[in-house]
Structure 1
Amino acid sequence: MPPPVTDPQQTRRLLAWLGSGLLAGGMPVHEVEEDVREAAIALGHEGIEVAASPTGLWVTLASGEATTFEAVDGGVRLDQLAEVTAVHAALTAGTLPAAEALQRLSVLRQRPHRYPAYGLPVGTFLVAIGIALVLAPAWPSILFAAVISQVVAGLMALSGRTLLVGPLLPFLAAFASSVAAFGLAERGLVDAPLWTLVPPIAVLLPGSLIVTGLTELSAGAMMAGTGRLAYGGTQMLLATLGVGAAVAVLGLPLSLIDGQRPEALGWWAPLIGLLVIAVGISLLESVPPSLVPALLVTVLATFAAQSLGNAASEGPWVGAFLGACAASLTATLVEFVRPQVPRVVAFLPSFWLLVPGSLGLVSVAQLESSPTAGVLAAVEVLVIVASIALGVLVGAGLAHPLRSVVTRLSPTRRAFVRQLARRPVRRSERGPRPD
């Protein structure tokens, strides 16, 4: 075990940066608090007190002592989240000096994107096609997703450069996709426009955010869960307003807004879609190519469990529950087999595969054409979201003792953690902590 940092302020800063990095990666607050406590105990501070929210973290080494607050300055990519979890693993294993951990976290946001030139457009292109193969497996819908995804990628690029696009990104993306989908549907070129318009904007829908909020509420993190649900609901409302604005501008008949899904391709379409989604996410999130197979294993396990549940029961909530359980368990097993793939990094792409955000947008949009059908569909989506949250909790509970046992016994993991501790900080990464 490395000796604890003698400066309490530096120790608090290290723990606060560690927690804020995990929060920026989208982890639930109760899991972040647990990870920060583990790192603090490894550093010799068993009286640690930590309180996390989606927007910041408070850390004090003992009751009554000074407290450090660290705000969450936007999200981080999966490769950056992998670095944070690697630092956490090395700290808790006692193989990484605290000073070096602090240095590595200080340059976290300076890590360049692995694919700076084409990661966003090509990644968005592939993810949209993959989701179309899963949600709307028809050639017109797939072609539509490929083209409109580039419009969405352009809006995403602009959102980081102008204050006008950023807050309205879900609305603008949904409006652009809806105008194109409904316009083509009027001419008979696209079937089921409501499902067709979803794949290009699926990366912006807050399904995972809503499920994480519900998971936090179930775990007792009331303020964090309520805040995430409110924010996710607002993002969903903006996307729904974009669909409604397109309908109003085009003056469409309400009969076009229905929940019918196109099913022109065979059983192989979703399987190919999963592969395309995994590759697309790796490009979007700067994931190394060597880790893509590990992500794909988790995605396939999630899809298989979800499909099995849907086949065994008429209610889609069974598939959602089993898929979420499989995602948690498989991500944990992947981490044990390949310690280079942190559990949360393997889990998040599978989490997005459950697409509660897509279902929510379709259900809410149906309220404009048929309030009764829309309300029934919205209730069904709420049940699915709750099932996913329950599955995440059950899967995490089943995986927790397994994580503890294998962490103690796995020589591969211990060797990997020692390797993490020896990883030098590249010269390009040296420098002051960014604001």
Structure 2
Amino acid sequence: MTADKLDRSDLSAMTFVREATVAMCNTGVPTSYVTDRMQAVSAAFGVDVTILALPTGVFIQHPDGTMNIALAQGTVAGSNSFRLDQLADLQHLLDDVTGGRCDAADALDRLHAISTTQPRYRLAAVLVGHALFGVGFGLLLEPTLLAIPVYAVMSAVIGVLGILVSSRRMAAAVFPAIAAFLVGVVMNLVAPHVGESATPAIVPPLVSLLPVAAMTFAVLDLSTGDAIAGTSRIAVAIQRLLLMAFGAYAASTLVPATAPISHHMSLVWGPWLGVAVFSVGCLLTQSASLRTLPYLMLIAYVTFATQYVTTQWAGPIIGGFSAGAASVLASMSLRRLPKAPPFYAGFAPVLWLIVPGAVGLQGAVNFGQNGGAAAAGQIGLTGMILVAIAAGILVVTACRSLVPQHSPLSSENP
């Protein structure tokens, strides 16, 4: 190989390492995973660098002491700008690189294609996905039958507005408060007539805005020593919850809710249907392939059933621990099957089902309305369940590190 070709290869490898690390940050996954994954990629290309990943950017140090800094585009600490299909494709690309099946130039071309790919589904399907996303979560709360169409309509409205403001930075920053205010006003007026209490009813249309992944990954980052990443994620997550709580509180102040004035039977079987509806909504909103739906549903049902049983037996904190462990075990076990999603692409969606962002939002709203120990207790319980979920994830991944390298569970370190 000529020196010129070698230089071009090294340049492509360095460019790929930098841009792929930024892309990994854009997925919103824990920074410890980003660092470990990209150090393995750089080693596969023979690139001697030290990588420090943060939620909003990347520092890459070369052997001569020079430093490259690259900012993650279109994201803030605690959020992500990559869809589920892009996350899955990126994970497959990194697997090919570390497996020696892709050279630097081809890897860079594939990365650019992944970063610019358009959503798989048209706007109408995405809006249906938002409606199903909200209805699926609403079914977890055992609603009345009349509440379901309300959840569907309001979830689709919030989805439309979210798409419209997504490209406007300042509008996107205040959108959680505006969305919570709009939903709060509607639910304060409508919820009593469909047999629901207003405060819990505001959550399903807003569930797509809850920073559930950020809260979980913040605890994971803090637990693995990434204090800067963990602190920034949790700060952004808390800010978003407070913005939503402010919007809901303003709505309840201007348009006070009444007690349910119409009584209807709750759908006690709703949670078991809700998991499936939620999975379909997640697939449509996140542009995932239809072939991944059975895997997403199976991981979601295993996780939900585990959390449900252990919560009934030992309370919500132990339920959170077992759900965190079950979600990781299910995702790791299934990813070896044909056409299964990679680890984080299968694991991340179920966080909305097990992370108690809804409880934290309700607690913040109740605290603003009434104050008192009960609301503070809801917020404290949210924190404890978050720690328990992260502990379950950490225990499983720590045990996994002891698995022999030839085991089916030993590839793609989560």
Query: What SS does the corresponding residue of 2:70 show, helix, strand or coil?
Result: strand
- Residue 136 of structure 2 aligns with an amino acid whose one-letter code is G
1:222 aligns with 2:222: no
**Gapped runs of 5+ residues in structure 2?**
75-80
Please give the alpha-carbon distance, in whole angstroms, between the structure 2 residues aligned to 1:23 and 1:7: 24
Q: What displacement does 1:408 show?
A: 9.3
Q: What displacement does 1:403 show?
A: 8.6
Counterpart residue number, 1:271: 272
Please give the alpha-carbon distance, in whole angstroms, between the structure 1 residues aligned to 2:25 and 2:169: 23
Change (3 A) 1:165 1:140: farther
Query: Alpha-carbon deviations, 1:167-187, whole Å to 9, x = none?
Result: 1111111111111111124x5
Change (3 A) 1:55 1:378: same
Q: Is the contact between residue 4 and residue 43 of structure 1 (CA under 8 Å) also seen in structure 2?
A: no
Please give the alpha-carbon distance, in whole angstroms, between the structure 2 residues aligned to 1:183 and 1:220: 47
Query: What SS does the corresponding residue of 2:320 show, helix, strand or coil?
Result: helix
Which of 199, 204, 214 is residue 204 of structure 2 equivalent to? Answer: 199
More divergent stretch after superposition (114-123 vs 34-43): 114-123
Counterpart residue number, 1:43: 45
Q: Is the contact between residue 16 and residue 59 of structure 1 (CA under 8 Å) also seen in structure 2?
A: yes
Q: What displacement does 1:5 show?
A: 7.0
1:141 aligns with 2:143: no
Please give the alpha-carbon distance, in whole angstroms, between the structure 2 residues aligned to 1:263 and 1:4: 71
Q: Is the contact between residue 22 and residue 85 of structure 1 (CA under 8 Å) also seen in structure 2?
A: no
Please give the alpha-carbon distance, in whole angstroms, between the structure 2 residues aligned to 1:404 and 1:278: 32
Please give the alpha-carbon distance, in whole angstroms, between the structure 1 residues aligned to 2:281 and 2:321: 25
Q: What displacement does 1:130 show?
A: 0.5
Counterpart residue number, 1:244: 249
Counterpart residue number, 2:156: 150
Alignment of 1:11-160 (within 5 A): 11-45=13-47, 47-60=48-61, 62-74=62-74, 75-160=81-166
Q: Is the contact between residue 328 and residue 399 of structure 1 (CA under 8 Å) also seen in structure 2?
A: no
Query: What SS does the corresponding residue of 2:51 show, helix, strand or coil?
Result: strand
Counterpart residue number, 2:287: 286
Q: What displacement does 1:198 show?
A: 0.3
- Residue 12 of structure 1 aligns with an amino acid whose one-letter code is M
Query: What SS does the corresponding residue of 2:146 show, helix, strand or coil?
Result: helix
Please give the alpha-carbon distance, in whole angstroms, between the structure 2 residues aligned to 1:404 and 1:190: 55
Query: Alpha-carbon deviations, 1:332-378, whole Å to 9, x = none?
Result: 11111235411100001111211321111011111122422111111
Counterpart residue number, 1:424: none
Which of 174, 182, 186 is residue 180 of structure 2 equivalent to? Answer: 174
Alignment of 1:356-375 (within 5 A): 356-367=356-367, 368-375=369-376
More divergent stretch after superposition (135-144 vs 94-103): 135-144
Q: Is the contact between residue 355 and residue 389 of structure 2 (CA under 8 Å) also seen in structure 1?
A: no
Q: What displacement does 1:65 show?
A: 4.2
Q: Is the contact between residue 12 and residue 104 of structure 2 (CA under 8 Å) also seen in structure 1?
A: no
Please give the alpha-carbon distance, in whole angstroms, between the structure 2 residues aligned to 1:307 and 1:398: 24
Structure 1 runs of 4+ with >6 Å offset? none
Query: What SS does the corresponding residue of 1:287 show, helix, strand or coil?
Result: coil
Change (3 A) 1:98 1:401: farther
**Gapped runs of 5+ residues in structure 1?**
257-261, 414-435
Q: What displacement does 1:289 show?
A: 0.5
Q: What displacement does 1:105 show?
A: 0.8
Instruction: Give TM-score scaled by structure 1 length.
Output: 0.86
Q: Is the contact between residue 222 and residue 230 of structure 2 (CA under 8 Å) also seen in structure 1?
A: yes
Counterpart residue number, 2:336: 336
Q: What displacement does 1:9 show?
A: 3.7
Please give the alpha-carbon distance, in whole angstroms, between the structure 2 residues aligned to 1:263 and 1:94: 58
Change (3 A) 1:204 1:263: farther
Report how many residues are paired: 398
Change (3 A) 1:197 1:31: same
Q: What displacement does 1:93 show?
A: 0.6
Query: Alpha-carbon deviations, 1:136-155, whole Å to 9, x = none?
Result: 43223322211211220121
| Percent identical | 26
Counterpart residue number, 1:433: none
Instruction: Give the superposed CA RMSD.
Output: 2.3
Counterpart residue number, 1:351: 351
